[in-house]
Amino acid sequence: MGLMEKEKLFYFLLMFVLLIGVEVQGSHHHKLFIFGDSYVDTGNTAKSTSSAWMEPYGITFPGKPAGRWSDGRVLTDYLASFLGIRTPIAYKWRKIGLKLLRYGMNFAYGGAGVFNTLGTSPNLTVQIDFFQEQIKEGVYTKSDVESSLALVSIVGNDYDAYQARNGTLKGLQAFATSLINQLSMDLRRLNDLGVKKIAVTSLQPVGCLPGNNNLASLNQCNETQNEISSVNNLLLDQAVQVLNKSNEGLKITVLNLYEAFLSILDSPANQGRWKFENPLKACCEGINSSYSCGSTDENGNKMYRLCEKPHSSFFWDIRHPSQHGWTALAAYLRPTFHTLS
């Protein structure tokens, strides 16, 4: 072997060692633990009951339904990628995905809330119980948890359940107050378990979701519904300030989904390289109000409509952003991501 070849080999080995070093260091310092609902779930919901396991979910990534409520990636994937780690394993797969345990774990379930919602998904308290169990079993050490980041994205389904049970927004302020009080207790509990850094999402402008803005014939957001988000987010900001002041060594950061959504939906100029055709319209929806994206009839016929270009839609279905939508949202949130590391 000539001198040049030896130098090349040495350089290659050095780069390899450095890359491994970065990987080991990254995985040590940034385990990511996720709690919440369908905006961050990466496969926990049951295949038998969840449309996220039905076609056409997952058509952009990974190419088939995989339990994500989108045509592709969701917020969890973007935050993990920013931290330089692989997407943490869904709690449901923890026994078979042992290699992925080192990146953290995802305890989020589509349909979940801080309180019990209309479905059977484990609420936030139960998700944290699952996390505590992993610590007790020694899957994660004290230093794993202390150097980790927790992502919490949860309250949307609570407000849906509230409206469904009450038929009105009457008493919203009192309900929102009790909800944020419970969320504060849950965040404090994560801190008591050793987590020092938490990112919590504000509530997206729910009146802009295609399922809620039919009144405005998909041209503008439903401002009555958006009032829910405003009330929630004001209380959340106040609660986070109190928690950060009163708990030394705890840093909670709000990921402002509300502002991110509105920035993209309100102004085509803000969409930059992400051009969305009719951004308030879902790419995939049921053929009528009896059906939803992914629905089939008893003969297996598709009972949904799919747009031609998912990458030009901000919303995938009537509640969730498309992968392209999440790409734009993650770009907007990137400056906040930088404060988490």
Cα 90 to Cα 106: distance, rounded to the nearest angstrom: 5
> What are the two backbone dihedrals, phi and then psi, of residue 190, each rounded to the nearest 5 degrees?
-60, -40
The CB density around residue 41, as the number of other CB atoms within 10 Å, is 30
Is 312 within 8 Å of 276 (Cβ atoms)?
Answer: yes
Residue with tokens 């919203």: 172
CA distance 272 to 250: 35
Cβ atoms of residues 261 and 208 within 8 Å: yes
How far from 280 is each of 57, 85, 106, 276, 322, CA to CA, in Å? 19, 32, 29, 9, 12
Angle value at C-alpha 336, between 94 and 36, nearest 5 degrees:
35
CA distances from 266 to 185, 193, 209, 276, 290 (A): 34, 40, 13, 11, 30
Cis check for the bond before 62: say yes or no (omega within 30 of 0): yes
Distance separating alpha carbons of residues 149 and 171, to the nearest angstrom: 34
Q: Which of 151, 267, 254, 136 is nearest to 193 (CA)?
A: 136
**Torsion over CA: 216, 158, 110, 204 (sign):** positive
Residue tagged 């300030």 (tokens): 241
* DSSP-assigned letter for residue 296: B
Alpha-carbon torsion, ordered 332, 207, 321, 90, to 10 deg: 100
Active centre residues (catalytic): 38, 317, 320
